[in-house]
């Protein structure tokens, strides 16, 4: 089975999403005008440096932003045409874990330590599919098989501390998929795992997408992962979207200077990966990520950008069409491409 | 599991031994010669000596101790100096009211405090939370006897809903029995409730910020299930610990409450025996109370193993 027949239908549409947090220092604009759509069965990558708002975007879609800390300040999130922003909590609970599921970055702490694996998978199915106790347990067993956990029957009655990190992440995936969701949001699902396990989990996700046709939003800071698994990519910077393109297009002609900065950082990442077993964050571009509290009138990347002109600093660039299904928020994108070549040459020279 | 429980049970023996040594020698060191007290102010030296001999106080201290421990192992806690009745019978007569009071207090306090604590945590920093915490601070600050007298004044004197004082044994019907327990249980339980509610809230707040709660919410589970299964089970260990510590506090609270409400239980027996220096009764009571505390402690330790699968035994 390849892509489902309805692959052209937008299953999720996010329009101008803005999420902010109230802090003692002021309002943090963690997500500031993000728009994208997700087609059925598609894998969409969401990349950017630490703190750029990837997780907050994901949590906003599921409406899991703690109301005591922050709120969705504006925009629209439509799931199968139904508006989720402002939807009442009870209806939202019917969507979470049922139609839209999420897996988290930390498999070691994301499972409940005092409940068995079986309970944690089965309760999903019991809640949303109306299965009885026995049927739900059967479903849990099926899911453990699906995520390739050996000896599933025994594992059902085990507790998370009896499993390795990789297995826990498989269990998380089993939980997320228990109700056959249409959308799976995977927030850095492999960051906490060592490299061989990372590859296995990514393979598993790809296989699940093939078999079940689940649309996936894959959050990562690892462009290598994006290249291998995604159809399209969104690059975020300081809470804003800076570029969106099909994967091949993005790697061939990155238009936004920030994206190109990220790409230059790739080889370094691989080098560092050996030392720690974990890939470091993307902080290879000179300068600092701007504070999200101050209102940034122009392009958020301008202070770090070699191409930035006066207009970049005073006017916020909209997402401009820069190619086939390719958009970038940069006034200088045309120069940028030449610049990219130059940068690449320099990078060679340095090494 | 069974072997774990047995091992823990065996481990209580040395603890009780140390308690016995302390009780025995502490009372021997206390000022005042019981024989002289019993004999009265104008007794002769020979009269006092006779009483000494009768009580066994003339024998070597170690022998006295050995006989006392041996007797207790056979259920013989000695004889009251004043009433000449066996201490074990005196204690047995007074157990029912105290047990009834302690258990009803425990039940009321736990049954109200845990939901209150969970509610406060779920509504952290909102009005409900602040009200619960206000109650907790006040409950904690007010002494048991004050609460007791206020309750008596309002519900017995003014409203006349409940009896002022006293105790009715369970054998005389459950209605009167329960009616006599309501006010003392509340008086004794409020401090205790405040303590448990506070710990429940704190423990729940800590748990509610954990990643696995976010996971539970991302599954769309009902709020009740998230709070009562996913969160409360993780928050349980400190709560159960405090309930156990509370039982120790309860024992001292019982003495005061029984006095305020005129309940003929172990608390009153303790007060009377201490005032009269009736050593055998005091010794027996301390041993019984210590035994209860050790047992409660044991039950708490065992409950940990049920609550948290990561605890090895
Ligand atoms: N509860 C909160 N209160 C205040 N600020 C928050 C809160 N949650 C997130 N933020 C802020 O929102 C911004 C985006 O955070 P987010 O977690 O989405 O980053 P991210 O892109 O997922 O980063 P990472 O790669 O480290 O996971 C950060 O600046 C962060 O400090
Ligand atoms: Mg994140």
- Please write the tens of the pLDDT for every residue from A11-63: 999 999 999 999 998 899 999 999 999 999 999 999 998 899 999 999 999 99
What's the domain count of chain B? 1
Q: HEC string of B50-108? A: HHHHHHCCCCCHHHHHHHHHHHHHCCCCCECCCCCCEHHHHHHHHHHHHHHHHHHHHHH
HEC secondary structure over chain A: CCCCCCCCCEEEEEEEEEEEEEECCEEEEEEEEEEEEEECCCEEEEECCCCCCHHHHHHHHCCCCCCCCEEEEEEEEEECCEECCCCCHHHHHHHECCCEEEECCCCCCCCCCCCCHHHHHHHHHHHHHCCCHHHHHHHHHHHHHHCCCCCHHHHCCCCHHHCCHHHHHHHHHHHHHCCCCCEEEEECCCCCCCHHHHHHHHHHHHHHHHHHCCEEEEEECCHHHHHHHCCEEEEEECCEEEEEEEHHHHHHCCCCHHHHHHHHCHHHHHHHHHHHCCCCCCCCCCCCCCCCCCCCCCCCCHHHCCCCCHHHHHCCCCCEEEECCEEECCCCHHHHHHHHHHHHHHHHHHC
Please write the tens of the pLDDT for every residue from B207-240.
Answer: 999 999 999 999 999 999 999 999 999 999 999 9
Average pLDDT over residues B151-179: 91
Would you call A113 and B124 a contact, using CB atoms and an 8 Å cutoff?
A: no
pLDDT-based confidence at residue A282 (cuts at 50, 70, 90): very low
Residue owning the nearest CA to atom 12 of ligand 1: A30
Half-sphere CA count of B272, side-chain side, radius 13 A = 18
For residue B2, pLDDT beyond 50: yes
pLDDT at residue number A286: 67
Q: Is B253 inside a domain boundary?
A: yes
> What is the CA(A51)–ligand 1 centre distance, in A?
5
State in Å: Cα B50 to ligand 2 middle. 85
User: Is A113 within 8 Å of B220 when comparing Cβ atoms?
Assistant: no
| Within a domain: B35 | no
| Tens-digit pLDDT profile for residues A57-82 | 999 999 999 988 999 999 999 999 99
Question: For A100-109, A143-152, A307-316, B55-64, which range has the lowest pLDDT when averaged over its residues?
Answer: B55-64
pLDDT score of A274 more than 70: no
B130 touches chain A (CB under 8 A): no
- Residue B182 belongs to a domain: yes
In a domain, B65, yes or no: no
**pLDDT for res B100:** 92
Structure confidence at residue B301 as a pLDDT band (50, 70, 90):
confident
With bands split at pLDDT 50, 70 and 90, how would you rate the model's confidence at B75?
confident
pLDDT of A347? 43
Which residues of A make CB contacts under 8 Å with B?
62, 64, 68, 92-98, 101-102, 104, 106, 109-115, 123-124, 127-128, 159, 161, 172, 175
Q: Does B311 touch chain A (CB under 8 A)?
A: no
Query: Is residue B69, in this structure, part of any structural domain at all?
Result: no
Percentage of chain B beyond pLDDT 90 is 49
Residue B230 lies in a domain: yes
- Print the domain residue range for B273: 94-312
ipTM of the shown complex:
0.86
Task: Classify residue B207: in a domain, yes or no.
Answer: yes
| CATH number assigned to the domain comprising residue B136 | 1.10.3720.10
Least distant ligand from the CA of A17:
1
Average pLDDT of the segment spanning B74-94:
89
- Is pLDDT of A143 > 90? yes
Centroid of ligand 2 to alpha carbon of A65 (angstroms): 13
Residue B155 lies in a domain: yes
Closest ligand to residue A56's CA: 1
Length reported for chain A = 351
Nearest CA to ligand 1 atom 10: A30
């Amino acid at each position: 089975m390849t892509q489902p027949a309805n692959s052209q239908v937008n299953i999720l549409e996010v329009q101008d999403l803005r999420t902010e947090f109230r802090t003692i220092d002021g309002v943090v604009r963690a997500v500031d005008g993000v728009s994208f759509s997700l087609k059925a069965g598609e894998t969409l990558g969401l990349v950017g440096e630490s703190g750029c708002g990837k997780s907050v975007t994901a949590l906003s879609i599921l409406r899991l932003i703690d109301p005591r800390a922050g709120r969705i300040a504006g925009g629209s999130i439509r799931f199968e045409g139904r508006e989720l922003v402002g939807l009442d909590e009870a209806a939202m609970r019917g969507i979470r874990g049922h139609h839209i599921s999420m897996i988290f970055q930390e498999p070691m702490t994301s499972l409940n330590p005092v409940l068995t694996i079986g309970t944690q998978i089965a309760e999903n199915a019991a809640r949303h599919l109306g299965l009885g106790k026995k049927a739900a347990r059967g479903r849990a067993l099926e899911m453990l098989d699906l995520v390739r956990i050996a000896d599933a029957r025994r594992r059902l009655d085990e507790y998370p501390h009896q499993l390795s990190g990789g297995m826990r992440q498989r269990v998380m995936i089993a939980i997320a998929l228990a109700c056959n969701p249409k959308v799976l949001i995977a927030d850095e699902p492999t960051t906490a795992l060592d490299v061989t396990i990372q590859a296995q989990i990514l393979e598993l996700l790809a296989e699940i997408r093939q078999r079940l046709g689940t649309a996936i939003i894959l959050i990562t800071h690892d462009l290598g992962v994006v290249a291998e698994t995604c159809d399209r990519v969104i690059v975020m910077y300081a809470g804003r979207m800076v570029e969106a393109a099909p994967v091949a297009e993005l790697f061939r002609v990155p238009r936004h200077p920030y994206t190109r900065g990220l790409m230059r950082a790739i080889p370094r990442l691989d080098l560092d990966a050996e030392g720690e077993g974990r890939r470091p964050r993307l902080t290879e571009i000179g300068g600092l990520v701007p504070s999200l509290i101050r209102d940034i009138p122009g392009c958020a990347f301008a202070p770090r950008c070699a191409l930035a002109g006066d207009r970049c600093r005073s006017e916020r660039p909209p997402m401009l069409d820069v190619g086939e299904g390719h958009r970038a928020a940069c006034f200088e994108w045309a120069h940028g491409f030449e610049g990219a070549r130059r940068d690449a040459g320099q990078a060679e020279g340095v090494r | 599991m069974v072997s774990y429980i047995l091992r823990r049970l065996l481990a209580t023996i040395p603890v009780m031994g140390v308690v016995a040594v302390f009780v025995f020698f502490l009372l021997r060191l206390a000022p005042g010669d019981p024989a002289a007290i019993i004999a009265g102010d104008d007794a002769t030296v020979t009269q006092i000596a006779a009483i000494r001999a009768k009580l066994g106080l003339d024998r070597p201290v170690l022998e006295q101790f050995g006989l006392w421990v041996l007797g207790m192992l056979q259920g013989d806690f000695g004889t009251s100096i004043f009433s000449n009745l066996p201490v074990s019978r005196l204690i047995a007569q007074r157990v029912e009211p105290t047990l009834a009071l302690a258990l009803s207090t425990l039940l009321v306090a736990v049954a109200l405090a845990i939901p209150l604590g969970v509610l406060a945590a779920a509504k952290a920093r909102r009005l409900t939370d602040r009200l619960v915490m206000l109650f907790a601070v006040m409950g904690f600050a007010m002494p048991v006897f004050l609460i007791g007298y206020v309750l008596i004044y309002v519900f017995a004197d003014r409203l006349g809903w409940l009896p002022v004082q006293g105790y009715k044994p369970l054998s005389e019907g459950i209605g009167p029995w329960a009616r006599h327990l309501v006010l003392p249980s509340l008086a004794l339980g409020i401090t205790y409730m405040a303590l448990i509610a506070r710990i429940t809230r704190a423990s729940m707040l800590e748990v509610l910020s954990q990643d696995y709660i976010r996971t539970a919410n991302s599954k769309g589970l009902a709020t009740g299930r998230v709070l009562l299964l996913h969160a409360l089970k993780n928050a349980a260990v400190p709560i159960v610990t405090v309930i156990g510590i509370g039982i120790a506090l309860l024992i001292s609270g019982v003495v005061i409450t029984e006095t305020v409400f005129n309940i003929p239980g172990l608390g009153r027996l303790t007060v009377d025996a201490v005032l009269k220096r009736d050593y055998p009764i005091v010794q027996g009571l301390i041993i019984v109370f210590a035994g209860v505390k050790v047992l409660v402690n044991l039950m708490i330790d065992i409950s940990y193993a049920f609550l948290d699968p990561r605890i090895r035994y």
